[in-house]
Amino acid sequence: MPLRGSRSSHRYRQTAHRLSSSRRRFLQLSTAALAGTALTNCARNLSTGGTSEQASGSDADTLHVYTWSAYVDDDLVQRFEEETGIEVIFDIYDSNETMLARLQAGGGSQYSVIYPSDYMVEIMMELDLLTPLESDRLPSTSDLFDQWQSPAYDPGNEFSYPYAWGTTGLIYNEAELGDVEDWDFLWDNQSDLSRQMTLLNDVREVMGMSLKSLGYSNNSTDPDEIEEAYEKLVELRSDINSFTTDGWRDQIVVGDLLIAHAYSVDAIDIIGENPDLQYVVPSSGATVWTDGVVIPSTAPNVEAAYAWLNYILEPETAAPILSRLQFATPNKLAFDKMPEALKSDVTLFPPDDVLANCEELGDIGDAADLYDRYWTQLTS
């Protein structure tokens, strides 16, 4: 995810490379590969140059949080510290896989709060990396919209509490292209869009959009359906400018690109820079994703973790923070407190008939190997 706002505070640590990896990429990576990823994504202290491993997570007055860059907010941290006396130190990851690799390689023992996405919650549960949440210490899940009460990836909200959500779709230049309604627009206008369109650098999202355009689930494990989706992407490949998660941003603003596969939060961020840009959730369906908050099984400061979760999940806190960051909230009470302009923004909160065709990315088991093989062929 792109960085938002100032990140100069000494309390923040950030990955040393540009945050360009997909935040929702899902592959069945081996333990060795995960460990290798962790070694190449060590975080550094912005003010001292020290690594995160130098920090201690055992101080009762210090809370270490591992999260996406978009959820780092100076005002939120300052208010929490003033109210609780607990210092918050953020480390930033650029993908769910980077976060998981760090934890599995033993570098994440100082963290007491993490913000994984829906499918990653499921994986972390299976790997016994999460502590069951004490529901009586958190806001009631009855305050959540129905979709997030006992979601499929975490039945009973046992290990995670949903914090923000969004969709994946297409951002495009309406002045040049007119209305765009579905994924098939890319194929139907392929010659006119040649080298002026990009797809996400994300196997599940790209294969998912092709599967959806064919009327299948974006979680299909049927080899015939997966192959059909791959072959359809091969037809498009020669006219794709690049597979990129955020490299499209500057290009589409200045007109070098006409259309890009994108996450809703990135699209909303960019639309303000060019009034010709619009975002659409394709009518045949797309991905709807959720980022939650969890307490890892190795958390050194569980009491501070609950203090943080309660603070950020309270509607009075969540509404202004998510409004400022322009994220959709799964909490009904927080939604009611958001500005009317945001509540009525269909890019941020698509109507029910649009969401009806959308799915979360789920665990596809052994089919991940097939996805991976086709992805390698497509992008090589």
12-165+290-349: CATH number = 3.40.190.10
Query: Confidence class of residue 197 from pLDDT cuts 50, 70 and 90?
Result: very high
Domains 12-165+290-349 and 167-287+356-379 share a fold: yes
Structural domain boundaries in the chain:
12-165+290-349, 167-287+356-379
What is the spatial distance between Cα 28 and Cα 370, in angstroms, rounded to a whole number? 11
Mean pLDDT over 225-248 rounds to: 95
Whether the pLDDT of residue 57 is over 60: the answer is no
Query: Confidence class of residue 10 from pLDDT cuts 50, 70 and 90?
Result: very low
Tokens 């509607």 belong to which residue? Answer: 315
Tens-digit pLDDT profile for residues 140-175: 999 999 989 999 899 999 999 999 999 999 999 999
What is the spatial distance between Cα 204 and Cα 314, in angstroms, rounded to a whole number? 33
| Closest by CA position to 183, among listed 246, 229, 250 | 229
Mean pLDDT over 254-276 rounds to: 92
214 versus 16: which is more confidently predicted? 214
Query: What pLDDT shows up at residue 58?
Result: 55
| Superfamily of 167-287+356-379 according to CATH | Periplasmic binding protein-like II (3.40.190.10)
Whether the pLDDT of residue 92 is over 70: the answer is yes
What is the spatial distance between Cα 73 and Cα 93, in angstroms, rounded to a whole number? 15
Q: Whole-model pTM above 0.85?
A: no
- Name the percent of the chain lying above pLDDT 70: 85
Query: What pLDDT shows up at residue 174?
Result: 97
